Chains A and B, each alone.
Chain A
Amino acid sequence: MLETMNRIQKAPRGRHALLFAAAASLTVGIGMATAQAAETRKEAKLDIAAGGALNIVNNGGSVTLRSGNVRQVLVTYVTHSEKIEVDQNASGNKERVELRTHVLPNEKPSADEAKVDYDVTVPAGISVNVSTTSAPITVDGLKGDIGLSSETGQITLHNVVKSHVRVRSMTAGVTLTDVTLSRVDLQSAGGAILLNNVTGQRVTAGTTSGNIEYRGDCSGGGDYLLTTHSGAIDVTLPPTASVDLTARSTNGPVENAFPLQEKSHNSFVPRQGRSFAGTSNSGSSSVELQSFSGKIRVKKQ
């Protein structure tokens, strides 16, 4: 009798569980469908004049640019809500093309809803300007005039040759890898700057509090200037590096573990632990490391 009673009581519970599971599945399904509906992927092919400029303004999400054997700018972008849209503008002669994310009137999207992910393929020789607030920027293989700016989004460049690279960041980290034969101008207030095999006529990197790390041979007979207020500067050079190097800090420690030949003449009086200077091989590139209170270290690879 008791067993029968239990069975009677259990049966409705089982049905309830099934109903609950079905309702939950339905809810999740509707949620996913809604999310998919909010997430919209679009593609566009934009005409651009040879040597023209492409400007992209996007606050959140991401921006990825790559070079391609194409004549038009190929853009794929994914929006994450219907509260924002992407405007595509071009000047009459197609010398300037702009992609700009903006919020629709009377909409207040959340940070996630305001995101747009751009994937852009750019013809050779096009100047590129990208500005974001939190969206990371990734650039691969471009050649030309490249300007990148972000408050907090990580900025990454690789495989860039014979270009003029300008990067600005507030706290975003900046990483350049295999950027060669280029003019490079980097500034970051609080972000760390990492340079791997970055060479060219003039390479400058400055921070207020961010660290600067350089790994490479400073080749090309160029001017290399790394400056910081309170960040650390770490330079790792191979024995083959041909540099004329000076390192000076107003208040920070300066250490050298790279074999340098003393210079017969210096434009300043070296101070023990605060500055040093010397050359390696023929000293073809000028390397200047300067800090106010940050530590400067030069090491052998």
Chain B
Amino acid sequence: MNCQQFQEVLPYIIESGGEGDDESHLQTCPYCASLVQDLRYIAEQAKLLLPMHDPNPRVWNKIEQSLQREGLLEGRMSPPGHIQKNSTPHQAKNWTPVGWAMALTAVIIFAVVLINYKPNQLPQTQLSAQNSSAEPAQFNSDDRLLISQLSQQAPDARGAYESSLRDVNAYISDAQQAAERDPDDATAQELLQDAYEQKEMLYQMATARSLP
């Protein structure tokens, strides 16, 4: 199992603990091990945010009064103690509005942490030893294929091409955004064309390099 395959089943591993193959990959790959450790920690911390107890009935009364004052509530709310006919005690206890709010907060925090999550950077040599999933997201599938071919045919050149492709992809992205912001901006259009020509040049060079 490589890093890419491992990370595809990562949600299952976090949920269930994983299987033999996963464990063996974790033992040999410090990068994925660190990732799993961090995600498990985040998941544990998120659980602590879930509601364990209902708030005091006075809280409900105050919320109800406020809502009635604002004209947002005509009838009477059912406080947690006053169970509705169609609710089970279990539902009423665990899914109060405040509970929902806290659970939602936990999910949001979890999502924000995941979005901003940046794993520890491995040294270049270690990154090279891993598969392409360790590469930054700005490489598209063609880029990854090209880098993979280079790794086999000309491993010494891989770093320079990765760096150049990263730069040129940033160039394309910036130029695209500028052109989208102002479609009449001729400079942005020319920059975009130049960026693509730069990328084409890199592909031509790399392809010539990676031919058997």
Interface residues of A (CB under 8 A from B): 131, 133, 149, 151-152, 168, 170-171, 187, 189-190, 206-209, 227, 229-230, 248, 250, 267-268, 290, 292-293
Contacts and interface: CB of A to CB of B under 8 A. Distances in A.
Interface of B: 157, 160-161, 163-164, 167-168, 170-171, 174-175, 178, 186-188, 190-191, 194-195, 197-198, 201-202, 204-205, 208-209
Nearest to A59: B209
B186 A189 contact: no
Given A170-B161, A208-B198, A151 B209 contact: yes
Majority secondary structure, A binding face = loop
Q: Which 4 A-B pairs have the closest CB atoms?
A: A229-B171, A189-B164, A206-B194, A208-B167
Contacts of A151: 157, 160, 205, 209
Q: Is the interface of B mostly helix, strand, loop or mixed?
A: helix
Contacts of A207: 198
15 contacts: A151-B157, A168-B201, A168-B204, A171-B164, A189-B167, A189-B168, A190-B163, A190-B164, A227-B194, A229-B175, A230-B167, A250-B178, A250-B187, A268-B187, A292-B178
Nearest to B184: A268
A87 to B, nearest CB: 16
B208 A229 contact: no
Contacts of A250: 174, 178, 187-188, 191
A69 B145 CA distance: 48
Contacts of A187: 197-198, 201
A189 B205 CA distance: 11
Nearest to A267: B186
B209 to A, nearest CB: 7
Contact of B171 (A131, A170, A290, A292): A292
A158 B197 CA distance: 26
A39 B205 CA distance: 29
B131 to A, nearest CB: 24
A268 B185 CA distance: 8
A133 B154 CA distance: 11
Nearest to A204: B194
Contacts of B160: 151-152, 170-171
Contact of B197 (A206, A209, A268): A206
A189 to B, nearest CB: 4
B178 A170 contact: no
A190 B170 CA distance: 13
Contacts of B197: 187, 206
B205 A170 contact: yes
Given A151-B205, A248-B187, A209 B178 contact: no
A116 to B, nearest CB: 17
A250 B208 CA distance: 34
A229 B164 contact: no
A190 B190 contact: no
A149 B191 contact: no
A189 B198 contact: yes
B191 A229 contact: yes
